[in-house]
Amino acid sequence: MDIVVRGRNVEVPEHYRQHVADKLVRVERYDHKLIRVDVELTHEKNRRQSDACQRVEITCSSRGPVVRSEACAADFYSALDVAVGKLESRLRRAADRRRVHHGRHSPVSVHAATGETATALLEETAPPEVAETDAPEDGLVVREKEHPSEPMSIDQALLEMELIGHDFYLFLCKDTDRASVVYRRKGYDYGVIRLTP
């Protein structure tokens, strides 16, 4: 497993690189297929954010899905501890899921359990029509990402969403062959939004 530690406008000392390697050795026991782990350090210069000005992002690439976590703290060591804890939790959950789904012990899938509920959620969460205005743009696009689109089921999309730690996940639905988004709602519920042609 390759561990790459880099800083965004931050100098990374050698002793911190060794500390990161020592912490991430524990993570390998959950997934032996890990190929590369990217650790990115960022410092926020905002004085109001002094208690959470050091950010650590960890991204694990393997033959399976990408797993990531991030954390902020007053120093990089504390942020690394929190991020590694989140990463271990997500990898443990994925390992448990793989273990449960073998044999006859597989639970009811999320898609089968929600059935008509997902359709009701779509109707409930349809976005209202917004009138276009000529107002100036407030924000700028600061990051763009491209990912390969492989058709997948809703269950697989939910797993991918949980592993990367986001509140939504864009995917190509295997059943309908349309672009869809799964997202987290209040509590432990999920929603699905599909694009219509």
**3-state SS track over 99-116:** HHCCHHHCCCCHHHHHCH
- 65-118 confidence digits (pLDDT tens): 888 899 988 888 999 999 999 988 888 877 776 665 555 455 555 555 555 555
Residue partners of 84: CB distance under 8 A and separation at least 6: 23, 24, 26, 27, 58, 69
Residue 14 in tokens: 């050698």
Q: Mean pLDDT over residues 1-9, rounded?
A: 86
- 9-21 confidence digits (pLDDT tens): 888 889 999 999 8
Let me know: does 19 contact 56? Beta carbons within 8 Å: no
Q: How many angstroms separate the CA atoms of 63 and 147, rounded?
A: 15
Q: How far is CA 175 from the centre of its chain?
A: 23
Q: How many angstroms separate the CA atoms of 70 and 56, rounded?
A: 6
Going along the chain from its start, the domains and CATH numbers come out as 2-100 (3.30.160.100), 108-127+146-194 (3.30.505.50)
pLDDT exceeds cutoff 50 at 130: no
